[in-house]
Amino acid sequence: MKKPIIAITTSTHSPQSGMNRAQISQAYIDSIQNAGGIPLLIAASMLPEDSLAIADRVDGLLLTGGGDIAPERFNGIACPEISSVDHPRDAIELALAKKFHEIDKPILGICRGLQVINIALGGTLFTDILAQFETTIQHQNPGPNNPATRREIVHSVHLVEGTLLSKIYGLDETGVNSFHHQAIQQLANGLIETSHAPDGILEAVEDPSKKFFVGVQWHPEWLGYQAQSRALFAAFVGAC
């Protein structure tokens, strides 16, 4: 059996030197390879119409984490907490999410990727959780650039019984890491909630009408020590 080819979205990094770079955490690549897939990196600066040609040539799409999605993409309120907006990346990922949904090819969205999935299908986001939602949970764990922090369990999430995600995890509840200040506000039509935090913030969604159309708000690529996180990537690559 041939290994499936998984397109992985990247971000654009603009250092002070002025030499822009397409970049991605090695953890995403390792997670796909360890699950039996072949990673194929997609530049965030690619033309949206060119990126769509990829859909017919790969077996699945991994929408990765990263900077904030521009509020105008979902009629969100402006706030000073918005950072690292990458307009070309927004355009590419939203176009890809719509295309993969249309042709029913597997998608796994992680953190920002979950939010892209929701916006692509017509949903909205809280532009900033603390400004728009009352909670005592630390969703934006400080020190996200510290590898040890990225592996740290911050809060629990409840998994909705009978959903694909709950079947993959085989649990009613699990502990997750957390590095986000935006979150789903209005869920897009066709998506169902598959997980939420104790404060009610949606933490995972899926489209049950599709082969594999799943998004999670946490970062399972940094939780490879959990059997359930490895099972998620295995299920995704298996669907691809």
Per-residue pLDDT tens for 79-138? 766 667 788 899 999 999 999 999 999 999 999 999 999 999 999 998 887 777 677 777
CA distances (Å), origin 64, targets 70, 182, 208: 16, 15, 21
**In 3D, which of 129, 141, 109 has the Cα closest to residue 207?**
109
Distance between CA atoms of 82 and 115, rounded to whole angstroms? Answer: 14
Distance between CA atoms of 134 and 220, rounded to whole angstroms? Answer: 26
Report the C-alpha dihedral over residues 161, 165, 171, 175, rounded to 10 degrees.
-120
CA distances (Å), origin 142, targets 139, 145, 188: 9, 9, 29
Distance between CA atoms of 36 and 16, rounded to whole angstroms? Answer: 37
Cβ atoms of residues 35 and 230 within 8 Å: yes
Domains of the chain: 5-239 (3.40.50.880)
What type of residue is 223?
A: L
Distance between CA atoms of 53 and 207, rounded to whole angstroms? Answer: 23
Query: Which ranges of the chain have pLDDT less than 70?
Result: 13-19, 76, 80-83, 133, 143-144
In which residue are the tokens 């993969």 written?
Answer: 100
Phi-psi sector, 169: left (phi>0), alpha (psi -120 to 50), beta? alpha
